[in-house]
Amino acid sequence: MDCILLAAGYATRLYPLTENKPKALLMLGSKTILDRVCEKIEDVPDVNNIYIVTNHRFADQLTEWAAGYKGKKPIKVLDDGTTSNDNRLGAIGDMKFVIDKENITDEILVMASDNVFDFSLNDMVKLYREKNADLISAHYVEDLVDLRQMGVLELDDDNRVIGFVEKPAEPKTHWGVPPFYFYKKETLALIDQYLKEGNNPDAPGHLIPWLIERVPVYAYTFDVMTIDIGTPKTYAEAQKLFD
């Protein structure tokens, strides 16, 4: 499979830190966020290539980072040509951009480039193989305020996804969805169909409620640490872990 890392956002909530630097290249201890994310991907034998999709403003910095990358897996930075929040492709649009640009026809792992986490991606791979179906992640979140800022899903007794709402005003469950998605190669055509129908290309979670009406989607549930670095507060929390 191929891995697509989403890094085309502008992280305006972290200004001025990210005004002239991609969020993925912020430091956590002695390494960048992106280094720590790629270390997790390096542990997954199933992943053949890593593609980082970014915007035009930050493409040069990420390309320079990739040139010094010491991992074993091939890594490539793709510039989606966008320059601001006003003309961005959105996460699903960027997924499609990479799939088309690199002629990907195999299964994919899609991740954000700004999440640090404390579980093995191989555990997700194992469940993905067992279910032989698209797989997303689900993290138990107690705080309702936090849940209202993320995708929230409903599961049946077999952990099949039966409902999904992006940033619900009234969350139905405590299962928040961090950005870890395994898609079968057959699903690539559905991503194309989703966009051609004019659906929301922005957050990757918008695809899920549309997808579960067409194919089985399961969830890998976990309760260990994961931090979505999007604000000064969450960045400070992540920094404490790697001091």
CATH (domain of 64) = 3.90.550.10
Range of the domain at 69: 2-241
- pLDDT of 146 reads 85
Beta bridge partners of 7: 54
- Distance set, CA 110 to CA 14, 51, 177 (Å): 23, 10, 13
Average pLDDT over residues 217-239: 89
> Using CA atoms, how far apart are residues 54 and 101, in angstroms rounded to an integer?
13
Q: Into how many domains does the chain fold?
A: 1
pLDDT at 162 over 90: yes
Give 72-86 pLDDT, tens digit per residue: 999 999 999 999 888
Q: What is the pLDDT of residues 90-103, one digit of tens each?
A: 999 999 999 999 99
What's this model's pTM, rounded to 2 decimal places? 0.94
- Confidence at residue 93, expressed as pLDDT on a 0 to 100 scale: 95
The pLDDT confidence band at residue 145, using thresholds 50, 70 and 90, is confident
Mean pLDDT of 222-226: 83
Residue 12 CB partners (closer than 8 Å, separation 6+): 18, 85
32: CB partners within 8 A, 6+ apart? 24, 25, 26, 65
Report the C-alpha gap between 23 and 4 in whole angstroms.
16
Residue 96: its pLDDT value, please? 96
